Amino acid sequence: MAAFDYSDAGLQIRPDIGAAHRNYWQTLARPGSWWTGSERVAIAQESRNALDCALCRRRRQALSPYGMAGEHDHDRALPEAAVDAVHRVVTDQGRITRRYVEDNVGRGLSKEAYVELVGVVVAVFSIDEFHRALGLPLEPLPAPLPGAISRYRPAHLREDIGFVPTVPPDGAVGPETDLWKGGRAANVIRALSLVPDALRDWRALAAVQYLSFEAMANYVKDADRAIDRMQMELVAGRVSAINECFY
């Protein structure tokens, strides 16, 4: 899949951003740990459908999002539980509960599959929002590639944060050695670690759209950034407040 040519829109965008987006689309098309390539692309499409879903609009206005029946506007390429999860992550993530995640297991959406689904939605939504912010059309989704899912699950897991198992701070060993260094990891980093490749994909995008893990310790101006770290955090804090992300 060719990289989106931001220069066609008269924009001066760092080339590593376009390259990272292109790499993600290629990764999205391939089978993951718990979803096939076709299903992963379908998850990406549902993340876009959610913004125009009538049921989601009504739910957001409801006192409780769990008492409203109805059917999502969707492409019918995924099980209903998966469609509902995608739409909630996009439109009403602040009211997802432990019980909802646990109940989804009984509906056929395992915690592992849920985490990979969240990873795809977060990655696709971040790229799409980059385009929307610049007034650019969304990139076409890639054609899915055939292949079998791996069903890979890390050996070292703990249920001590959030609603799903995660690799503990001192558990990034063996195949997970690259996830973080030094036996310390913020909860937001651990969140996707039940599916390590989902975390790796998110890290690659975050490194170009925000900061790499290594650059987090740099509190001054980075040579390849147009604004300094204080300005970056001001923007990040404001966006988080608007999105009601209180982490």
Number of CB atoms found within 10 A of residue 239's CB: 11
What would the 3-class secondary structure string for 119-151 be?
HHHHHHHHHHHHHHHCCCCCCCCCCCCCCCCCC
Give the pLDDT score at 225. Answer: 86
- First vs last C-alpha separation in the chain: 35
Amino acid at 102: E
- Dist CA 12 CA 9 (whole Å): 9
- Dist CA 72 CA 114 (whole Å): 18
Decide: residue 46, CB within 10 A, 0-12 exposed, 13-18 middle, 19+ buried.
buried
Angle at 56 between CA 50 and CA 57, to 5 degrees: 110
pLDDT tier for residue 220 given thresholds of 50, 70 and 90: confident
- pTM greater than 0.75: yes
Give the pLDDT score at 111. Answer: 98
Give the pLDDT score at 7. Answer: 66
Q: What is the DSSP letter of 70?
A: -
Taking CA atoms, 56 is separated from 66, 118, 148, in Å, by: 11, 17, 32
Q: Does 9 score more than 70 pLDDT? A: no
Q: Report pLDDT digits (tens) over 67-121.
A: 888 999 999 999 999 999 999 999 999 999 999 999 999 999 999 999 999 999 9
Q: Report pLDDT digits (tens) over 14-52.
A: 899 999 999 999 999 999 999 999 999 999 999 999 999
Distance of CA 133 to the CA centre of its chain: 18
Indicate the SS3 state at residue 240.
helix
